[in-house]
Amino acid sequence: MELYMRGLVVLSLYFLFTLATKFGCCDGHGSKALCREEEREALLSFKRGIHDPSNRLSSWASEECCNWEGVCCHNTTGHVLKLNLRWDLYQYHGSLGGEISSSLLDLKHLQYLDLSCNDFGSLNIPKFLGSLSNLRYLNLSTASFGGVIPHQLGNLSKLHYLDIGNSYYDHRNSLNAEDLEWISSFSFLKFLDMTNVNLSKTSNWLQVMNKFHSLSVLRLSYCELHTIDPLPHVNFSSLVILDLSINYFMSSSFDWFANLNSLVTLNLASSYIQGPIPSGLRNMTSLRFLDLSYNNFASSIPDWLYHITSLEHLDLGSLDIVSNKFQGKLPNDIGNLTSITYLDLSYNALEGEILRSLGNLCTFQLSNLSYDRPQKGLELLRLRGNKLSGSFPDTLGECKSLEHLDLGMNQL
């Protein structure tokens, strides 16, 4: 999971850097142009509606609004392009709340708005945000918004990045969508996160998402999704990260996965998936992170899985007496996973002798060094709760980076 989060952070920072570069602006300090008076007044009106118990916006008092906390202006025109009021949990100052004033509409050149990780106490997402027609980046995640997502957001046709998800469960974060057709206008969308948004009424969610040719990140975890329909043609083949974990895909079609050749991260954990591992995954030769844990698989682990040599994180584990029941013997081909740092096959029905080839996950590391990403080596190996027999493989003694090893509840 650490590798997964690291990948998301890197990719998110890439989007932030790309967007900031396009703005041609600083982060609110050292702007060469003076801020516009009408935009300064709009920001002050916005501030009057905000509950700011820790005085985070104390800098919003000087004449030069381009130097205010979280405000970024164009270096030449002085127009406000960016408003970043995200609350970092590690900041000394606390979160913001209150009402969001429609005075933001006077920031006619605003391209970037981030109100994430604050506490707006189940406030509905304001419909007027859909009139900020120049927005490229909108982040309202984990900010305690509630109710139906306004379809007016569909007017933001220039959006590249939309995050209205919730990274942790909170009863006030009760966003839901009655349909997703309003998203269809986002022809430039690259990043979409709707984690913890109730999408149970959106039966055509996959068809809508498939319209985005440029989409790189799609996160629909914990969204009450109940089916994945067949896709006759896959348009969003540029996906790099796909997270559909914690849903209900008992009867679903995964054939279209075969077209996701650019995928680096795939998370389908805890989604009630049955039968064998979808064969479409065998074409994902760029895959680094694969999490299929806590499902209802009951088959052997296919040989082709051990030939996705780019894998760094592979989780097929489950809890005792529930979920996955992968069967059969561990093949020697498991030693092909020479990029692996995290391998969890716990609580399945794997049998036979534990293999010396597991040591290959350590001894072959040096042959897989590359300039684009340094090799870390195996850090976690979890085989607990299977039917493995034999002796402890001494080759595992060569795993210099191994931090967590669990072979318990076997027949060694």
Give 306-316 pLDDT, tens digit per residue: 999 999 999 99
Whether 350 is covered by a domain: the verdict is: yes
* Confidence check: pLDDT of 318 > 60: yes
Asked if the model's pLDDT at residue 368 lies above 90, the reply is no
Residue 84: give its domain's CATH number: 3.80.10.10
- Listed in sequence order, the residues at least 6 apart from 239 whose beta carbon sits closer than 8 Å to its beta carbon are 215, 216, 217, 218, 260, 262, 263
Predicted pLDDT of residue 376:
74
In a domain, 244, yes or no: yes
Count of domains for the chain = 1
H/E element holding 191?
strand 191-193
Each residue's pLDDT tens digit, 96-155: 999 999 999 999 999 999 999 999 998 999 999 999 999 999 999 999 999 999 999 999
DSSP class of 326: -
Least confident of 2-16, 56-70, 337-351: 2-16
Residue 213 lies in a domain: yes
Mean pLDDT of 194-221: 94
Amino acid at 7: G
Of 390, 387, 383, the closest CA to residue 406 belongs to: 383
On whether residue 220 sits in a domain, the answer given is yes
Count of positions (residues) in the chain: 412
Measured CA to CA, the distance from residue 304 to residue 302 in angstroms comes to: 5
- Looking at residue 278, its amino acid is P
Asked whether residue 412 is assigned to any structural domain, the reply reads no
Confidence of residue 322 (pLDDT cuts 50, 70, 90): low
Range of the domain at 282: 2-406
Cβ atoms 75, 27 nearer than 8 A? no
Least confident of 1-15, 30-44, 132-146, 257-271: 1-15
Distinct helix (H) and strand (E) counts, the chain: 4, 24
Instruction: Give the distance between the most distant pair of CA atoms in the chain.
Output: 77
Please report the pLDDT score of residue 67 as a whole number: 93
- Give per-residue pLDDT as tens, 254-292: 888 889 999 999 999 999 998 899 888 998 989 999 999
- Average pLDDT along the chain: 86
Cβ atoms 179, 150 nearer than 8 A: no
The answer to whether residue 296 scores a pLDDT higher than 60 is yes
Q: pLDDT tens across 376-411, in order?
A: 789 999 999 999 998 888 878 878 889 999 999 999
- Nearest residue to 125 (alpha-carbon basis) of 78, 82, 177, 180: 177
86 part of a folded domain: yes
pLDDT for residue 358: 81
DSSP calls for 270-288: TS--EESPPGGGGG-TT--
Q: Is 411 within a domain?
A: no
What H or E segment, with its residue span, contains residue 7?
Answer: helix 2-23
